[in-house]
Amino acid sequence: RHGSKTTLSSISLSIEKSEILAIIGPTGAGKTTLLRLIDQIDTPASGKVLFDGIEVTRRLRTNVRRQISMVLQKPVVFDASVYDNVAYPLKVRKYDRKNIPEKVNAMLKTVGLDGYQKRKARTLSGGETQKVALARALITDPQLLLLDEPTANLDPVSLNSIEELILQFNRDNGMAIVIATHEMAQGQRLAHRIGVMM
């Protein structure tokens, strides 16, 4: 609930390891709220969230959040270089500094941004910005990736590129992915299962 308004009610779902689950529904159905609850950004008014069978609703938040990454519909990038944006999660997790450049450069190559290291992230196109956000989310090798309308407002070429990356990371890394989208066709293209929110 948000104040007196009930945003979600009677929601029950499980996310399997290595699957892509699409949550489809119209604007205002509560898809983003559901992702925020899974990511431990928000706390449910009732009910519980379990991660690997352990209830984490009001405890273990930091440990669980380090195993989950989320990319927002309008990705936020820092006023810094592409390299610094992608390296940031590793630095805050105290990753070995001498290994950061290799890991960041490999990730940028994977998402198609090799050579963009020194570019200012805020000067990029929408598709490129979304790739920076994906790279930053994936650099920590999360068990679960949450995507909120990951291709909204992108041109067809950028949309195809992002969708291919989603499928690649699921296939190559066995990463569980939850995509919130209002596009049924996207869910059918990408997901193993589809849940519908009315």
Residue 2 has a pLDDT of 81
pLDDT class of 21 with cuts at 50, 70, 90: very high
Residue 73 has a pLDDT of 86
CA 143 → CA 17, 110, 117, distances in Å?
A: 8, 18, 26
Percent of the chain with pLDDT over 90: 63
Residue 181 to residue 29: CA distance in whole angstroms: 11
Residue 34 to residue 113: CA distance in whole angstroms: 31
- Among candidates 164, 83, 169, 88, which has minimal Cα distance to 127? 164
Average pLDDT over residues 141-151: 93
Segment 153-184, tens digit of pLDDT? 788 888 898 899 999 999 998 999 999 998 89
Q: What are phi and psi of 117, to 5 degrees?
A: -50, -45
Residue 60 has a pLDDT of 67
Segment 68-96, tens digit of pLDDT? 999 988 888 999 999 999 999 999 988 89
| Joined tokens for residue 61 | 């938040």
- Model confidence at 59: pLDDT above 80: no
